[in-house]
Amino acid sequence: MNVQVTASRPEDIAVDTLVVFTTSYDAIPRGAMKSLDDASGNILSTLLDSEEFSGASGETVTLYRPDGYSCGRVIVAGLGAKQDVDADSFRRAMGVVSRMKGIRSVGRAALSFDAHLEPANVGAAVEGYLLGSFKLLNYKTGDDSSLDTKLESLEILVDKKSGARKFESAAERGKIIAEGQILARRLSATPANDLTPKKYAKEAQRLAKEFGFSCTVLDEKAIAKEKMGGVIAVGQGSAEPPRFLILEHKGRNDKQAPIVLVGKGVTFDTGGISLKPSLNMHEMKQDMTGSAVVLATLVTAARLGVKRNIVGLIPATENMPSGTAIKPGDIITMRKGKTVEIINTDAEGRLILADALDYANKYKPQAVIDIATLTGACLFILGYAGAPFVGNNSKLTDLIREAAANTAERVWEMPLWDDFKQAMKSDIADLVNSGGRPAGTLTAAGFLSNFVGDWPWAHIDIAYMDMEPKGTPYTPKGASGFGVRLLVDVLANWKKV
Ligand code: BES
Ligand code: MN
Ligand code: ZN
């Protein structure tokens, strides 16, 4: 699908479908909506009286061949109350519109923003259309047929005086960001037999080549040489050996310290010897979503030409029970040299992230952000509504909060109190890998903090946010790819921390 900017009045454009946005109205519609009401035999006011359409968020109405319009149909899409309208209103409205036959079965559509013509709204509308069109039937990456749309071109209408340039780049940006998030959704949803650590590494290398960044893969021998005790321990129960992926995007200045992103890449989490119950265990194919978000963020940063050096670190492994698996009570030595008493083999994510965080020291990073489906306890903090996160630097946590506001990918900061670090001390080793049920999300963060160097760090737990349980306007049920818009925004608006 092609996105472009066209200078035209909405009345004059001969597309199959014209989308017009409206805020809620409680009397005869005004402005552009008044003209459309007049052109359609006052259908908009009639529908207001019958309470069928008032411009509320999620509402749509289709008008066929209104008088004086050159298009085949107009879809009027509700944005909700005027005072609440922001970029996400357009993302949601276009998510709803994306599932209408009147747009997805036609060739050419145009969007008229009228008084709302702003780059952020244009970008969000394009994102909403693509994200809402996503279908999970064909999960193979690189295959566009997983979009449920035949639409060939989506045109943004501008008037001559507002200038096309900034809207062109906003639309193109929205497209690239949505495609990044869709890539993360596909990887996330890919069954574990099709995404073993080895296959994952191959796919990352293919993407790196296609989009112009580098991908180095450490195999099990190189991982052993690095003494990554956490990655080795988690991987040792599986017939599929682990991999450690190093992704590098170069910005403008080679010497600038990079921002390092770390993603949990457990391609399947059975729990290991501390086996999970079988109910819903299949969902643990998504336990690599943090890493998929990191990989998709690198792809997106490369495509957008982000001017900063970015490194992605992905420990990829299965967590399996077997005769070679780690056992509760085992004590392992991490890359950093610290010893960890394994209380629960299902607390595996922190073990591999810890080695990756320690590895990040190699880069003398400006900052490190890790993202992971780390703890089931997230369900009891924010549920499916947002991701809890922690950090050790207020400028970095501010950046993440601002990015959440810009992208409508919600996060909420939690405290990194000493209590949570204390809970991870072992009587016989330096650390335990499980702090038990209380504050499970935060004791996991407390564990990770032991492996953080002298740099700003943030940790985002996306357990449950990786999954949309019911379906929302632009997130169909299933893998959400949550975190791509957020991290891309953090990188694009980076300020020294
Ligand atoms: N991958 C899981 C966390 C998870 C659970 C993500 C449900 C999404 C949905 C993680 O490896 C895990 O099993 N964590 C344990 C830790 C506990 C044993 C300390 C958990 O949260 O129960
Ligand atoms: Mn686990
Ligand atoms: Zn896990």
Question: How confident is the model at residue 138, as a pLDDT?
Answer: 63
Any atom of ligand 1 within 6 Å of the Cβ of 461: no
Whether 64 shows a pLDDT value over 80: the answer reads yes
Architecture of domain 2-158: 3-Layer(aba) Sandwich (3.40)
Question: How confident is the model at residue 214, as a pLDDT?
Answer: 98
Question: How confident is the model at residue 319, as a pLDDT?
Answer: 99
Question: How confident is the model at residue 200, as a pLDDT?
Answer: 98
Any alpha helices (H) in 305-342, and if so which ranges?
Answer: none
Structure tokens at 316: 């990829």
Any alpha helices (H) in 373-417, and if so which ranges?
Answer: 394-407
Q: Mutual orientation of helices 197-211 and 289-304 as an angle, nearest 10°?
A: 10
Whether 136 shows a pLDDT value over 90: the answer reads no
Protein residue with least CA distance to atom 8, ligand 1? 463
Any atom of ligand 1 within 6 Å of the Cβ of 376: yes
Protein residue with least CA distance to atom 3, ligand 1? 375
Protein residue with least CA distance to atom 16, ligand 1? 347
d(CA 223, CA 356): 11
Any atom of ligand 1 within 6 Å of the Cβ of 272: no
Please give the distance, rounded to the nearest whole angstrom, from the Cα atom of residue 462 to the centre of ligand 1: 11
DSSP lists the bridge partners of residue 332 as 340
Q: Mutual orientation of helices 484-492 and 289-304 as an angle, nearest 10°?
A: 40
Asked if residues 13 and 163 have their Cβ atoms less than 8 Å apart, the reply is no
Query: Mind listing the pLDDT tens digit for each residue in 407-457?
Result: 999 999 999 999 999 999 999 999 999 999 999 999 999 999 999 999 999
Asked if residues 483 and 184 have their Cβ atoms less than 8 Å apart, the reply is yes
Whether 396 shows a pLDDT value over 60: the answer reads yes
User: Is 492 strand, coil or helix?
Assistant: helix
Topology at the third CATH level for domain 179-492: Aminopeptidase (3.40.630)
Rg (C-alpha) for the chain, rounded Å, is 24
The mean pLDDT value of the chain amounts to 96
Question: How confident is the model at residue 120, as a pLDDT?
Answer: 98
H or E segment at 7? strand 2-7
Sign of the alpha-carbon dihedral angle for 469, 475, 476, 479: negative
Asked if residues 373 and 287 have their Cβ atoms less than 8 Å apart, the reply is yes
Q: Which atom of ligand 1 is nearest to the CA of 344?
A: 18
- Give mean pLDDT, residues 118-127: 98
Residue 413 buriedness (CB in 10 A; 0-12 / 13-18 / 19+): middle
Any atom of ligand 1 within 6 Å of the Cβ of 446: no
Any atom of ligand 1 within 6 Å of the Cβ of 328: no
List Cβ neighbours of 418 (8 Å cut-off, separation of 6 or more): none
Residue 475 buriedness (CB in 10 A; 0-12 / 13-18 / 19+): buried
Q: Residue 135: pLDDT band by 50, 70, 90 thresholds?
A: confident
Q: Which atom of ligand 1 is nearest to the CA of 437?
A: 19
Name the DSSP class of 134: B
Protein residue with least CA distance to atom 7, ligand 1? 376
H or E segment at 31? helix 31-39
Please report, as a single letter, which amino acid is at residue 416: L
- Give mean pLDDT, residues 185-214: 97
Using most ligand atoms within 8 A of CB, pick from 374, 466, 467 the residue to mutate for ligand 1.
374
Give the start-to-end residue ranges of the domains of the chain: 2-158, 179-492
- Give mean pLDDT, residues 215-221: 98
Q: Are strands 478-479 and 467-468 parallel, antiparallel or unpaired?
A: antiparallel
CB-proximal residues (5 Å) to ion ligand 2: 269, 346, 348
Question: How confident is the model at residue 147, as a pLDDT?
Answer: 82
Which listed ligand is nearest to 373 at the C-alpha?
1
Any atom of ligand 1 within 6 Å of the Cβ of 434: yes
Polymer length of the chain: 497
- Give mean pLDDT, residues 222-233: 99
List Cβ neighbours of 495 (8 Å cut-off, separation of 6 or more): 395, 399
Q: Residue 140: pLDDT band by 50, 70, 90 thresholds?
A: low
Please give the distance, rounded to the nearest whole angstrom, from the Cα atom of residue 359 to the centre of ligand 1: 23
Q: Which atom of ligand 1 is nearest to the CA of 274?
A: 18
Any atom of ligand 1 within 6 Å of the Cβ of 269: yes
Protein residue with least CA distance to atom 5, ligand 1? 376
d(CA 451, CA 374): 16
Whether 161 shows a pLDDT value over 80: the answer reads no
Active-site positions read 276, 350
Using most ligand atoms within 8 A of CB, pick from 282, 344, 346 the residue to mutate for ligand 1.
346
Q: Which atom of ligand 1 is nearest to the CA of 444?
A: 19
Please report, as a single letter, which amino acid is at residue 447: F
CA distances from 202 to 214, 247, 316, 353 (A): 12, 13, 12, 21
